[in-house]
């Protein structure tokens, strides 16, 4: 599923490629004639998709209704990503499309949200004449006011980055809802300053959300029939929250345990873990609770210590390997996935080989793979020359993709004959006779339906066939 449309730039983004730009919402609103309508498209990582649900909630409170049809909307929003140049190119292409809609429907407002809004700020209004609103990730509460101003012809910009905002009190309007799995944002921002990365500039300082509001959201989702939550943050392992009244300190391991205790039938996932911060305590908590999924996204970026140092990742090859060993020791059935960057500044062929050997060492079930894209303002852009020729970057990326595909294939083949507890998510893409669902290791399994089972139910499936992307199986009686 991640490999549907392989491009050299990267065969998978944080959100599965087929969903990038998708507009979706649950039918939570009855149509109230005359209400203003908004249309929203999202790009980038899960955090952005999660933020779009907060935006939808804020606009809903202000009387707006969502629509899937941009031609009938009064407000077109695009939640943008800046992580690589290509992500920004995609946004600009979409803005051309919105311009056309605006020509045919004067008065429609166009707003740019998210990381690219934060990066370019008011420059957006100069570069893209038809954009009316530019709003950064911490300023979404201001949307209704800015929209009102724009309706009176006043273009609006709010890119203020906050040290406190976590939108803790806002109940997200679940846009992408299969009614089974949902995201819960547990922290915002990032303090890590990896030299290649634009996120600290677009999302500001790291802050953790009140753990009780997280628990309330998880409980509410369970009561509404959801059976899986993914706790989101750029670096979930550095989650820390202190109760201002009792002084009680809550670490990520503590939070994970609290969410796992909401209900044994509520699965818990999390993303993203940072290799420097993932503790044995987190691993032991994962091992202790059946409903904490045995899957860790642990981006390595490079397998070479010198390159990791230039990237300012603050761990080296040996440290990473030790963390991988600890995961397999404490949670033997855990799957690990990764993010990998090919062709970072000054990377040699031998150093690239270290990345290849790391893929084998870690036995990743899958990876998101990219070639390095210089981002203005980052430490790498300021300090290092982007000196690896494009053809070399692309060739190295191809080698990484080829090897990862082989490893994923073997990883999946190894599941043939095994049985897994699967949470049913819905019909498979290919046939309404089949269900699809994930196992604890985050692998998608497709299997024929059985009377009486529906999305949100658990079932046990035995795998009989595997490709590098999906498993096929049959329900076995429990």
200 belongs to the binding site for ligand SF4 (CB under 6 A): yes
- Span of 21-29, 35-43, 187-195, 439-447 interacting with ligand SF4 by CB under 6 A: 187-195
The dihedrals phi and psi of 420, each to the nearest 5 degrees, come to -135, 145
Distance CA 17, CA 11 (A): 8
Q: Closer CB to ligand SF4, residue 14 or residue 436?
A: 14
Out of 87, 157, 175, 197, the only residue in the binding site for ligand SF4 (CB under 6 A) is 197
Binding mask 260-299 for ligand SF4 (x = CB under 6 A): --------------x-------------------------
Q: What beta strand segments (E) does 282-334 contain?
A: 295-297
Judged by beta carbon distances under 5 to 8 A according to partner kind, the member of ligand F3S, ligand SAH, ligand SF4, none in contact with residue 201 is: none
Which segment (144-152, 193-201, 347-355, 441-449) binds ligand SAH by CB under 6 A?
A: 193-201
Residue 90 burial (CB count, 10 A): 19
375 binds ligand SAH (CB under 6 A): yes
- Does residue number 370 form part of the binding site for ligand SAH (CB under 6 A)? yes
Is the dihedral angle over the CA atoms 148, 153, 154, 159 positive or is it negative?
positive
Nearest to 401 by CA among 5, 14, 8, 4: 8
The one of ligand SF4, ligand SAH, ligand F3S, none whose footprint includes residue 341, by CB under 5 to 8 A per kind, is ligand SAH
> Restricting to residues 48-87, which ones interact with ligand F3S according to CB under 6 A?
48, 81-83
The radius of gyration of the chain's CA atoms, rounded to the nearest angstrom, is: 22
Q: Which does 200 bind (CB under 5 to 8 A by kind): ligand SF4, ligand SAH, ligand F3S, none?
A: ligand SF4
**44 lines the binding site for ligand F3S (CB under 6 A):** yes
* Beta carbon nearer to ligand SF4, 35 or 193: 193
Element (H, E) at 270: strand 267-271
DSSP 160: P
Which residues, 181 to 240, sit near ligand F3S by CB under 6 A?
Answer: 198-199, 202-203
Let me know: does 80 contact 112? Beta carbons within 8 Å. Answer: yes
Q: Does an H or E element contain 287, and which?
A: helix 280-288
Q: Which residues contact 146 (CB under 8 A, 6 or more apart)?
A: 111, 133, 135, 156, 158
Smaller CB separation from ligand F3S, 320 or 370: 370
Of ligand SAH, ligand F3S, ligand SF4, none, which one does residue 370 interact with (CB within 5 to 8 Å by kind)? ligand SAH
Beta strands in 12-155 (DSSP E): 37-42, 65-66, 75-80, 109-113, 133-135
Q: Which residues contribute to the site for ligand F3S (CB under 6 A)? A: 14, 44-45, 47-48, 81-83, 114-115, 198-199, 202-203
């Amino acid at each position: 599923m991640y490999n549907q449309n392989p491009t050299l730039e990267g065969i998978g983004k944080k959100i599965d490629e087929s969903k990038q730009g998708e507009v979706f919402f649950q039918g939570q609103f009855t149509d109230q004639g005359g209400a203003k309508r908004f249309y929203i498209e999202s790009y980038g990582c899960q955090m952005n998709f999660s933020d779009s649900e907060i935006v939808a909630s804020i606009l809903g409170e202000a009387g707006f209704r969502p629509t899937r049809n941009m031609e009938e909307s009064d407000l077109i929003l695009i939640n943008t990503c800046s992580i690589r140049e290509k992500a920004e190119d995609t946004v600009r292409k979409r803005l051309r499309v919105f311009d056309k809609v605006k020509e045919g429907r004067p008065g429609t407002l166009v707003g740019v949200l998210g990381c690219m809004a934060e990066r370019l700020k008011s420059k957006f209004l100069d570069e893209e004449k038809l954009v009316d609103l530019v709003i950064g990730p911490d300023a979404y509460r201001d949307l209704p006011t800015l929209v009102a101003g724009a309706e009176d012809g006043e273009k609006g910009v709010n890119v203020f980055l906050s040290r406190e905002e976590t939108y803790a009190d806002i109940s997200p309007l679940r846009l992408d809802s299969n009614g089974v799995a949902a995201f819960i944002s547990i922290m915002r921002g990032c303090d890590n300053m990896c030299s290649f990365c634009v996120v600290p500039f677009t999302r500001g300082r790291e802050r953790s959300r009140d753990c009780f509001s997280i628990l309330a959201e998880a409980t509410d989702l369970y009561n509404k029939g959801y059976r899986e939550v993914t706790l989101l943050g750029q670096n979930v392992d550095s989650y820390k929250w202190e109760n201002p009244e009792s002084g009680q300190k809550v670490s990520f391991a503590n939070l994970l345990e609290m969410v796992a205790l909401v209900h044994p039938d509520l699965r818990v996932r999390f993303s993203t873990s940072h290799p420097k911060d993932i503790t044995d305590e987190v691993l032991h908590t994962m091992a202790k609770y059946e409903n904490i999924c045995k899957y860790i996204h642990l981006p390595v970026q490079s397998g070479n210590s010198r390159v990791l140092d230039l990237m300012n990742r603050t761990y080296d090859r040996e440290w990473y390997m030790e963390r991988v060993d600890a995961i397999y020791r404490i949670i033997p059935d855990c799957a690990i996935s990764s993010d990998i960057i090919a062709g970072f500044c000054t990377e040699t062929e031998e150093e690239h080989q270290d990345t290849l050997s790391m893929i084998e060492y870690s036995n990743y079930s899958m990876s998101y793979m990219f070639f390095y894209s210089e981002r203005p303002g980052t430490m790498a852009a300021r300090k290092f020359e982007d000196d690896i020729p494009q053809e070399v970057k692309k060739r190295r990326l191809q080698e990484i993709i080829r090897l990862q595909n082989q490893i994923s294939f073997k990883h999946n083949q190894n599941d043939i004959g095994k049985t897994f507890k699967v949470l049913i998510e819905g019909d498979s893409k290919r046939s309404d006779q089949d269900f699809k669902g994930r196992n604890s290791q985050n692998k998608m399994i497709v299997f024929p339906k059985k009377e009486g089972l529906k999305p949100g139910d658990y079932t046990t499936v035995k795998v009989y066939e595997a490709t590098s992307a999906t498993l096929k199986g049959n329900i076995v009686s429990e």
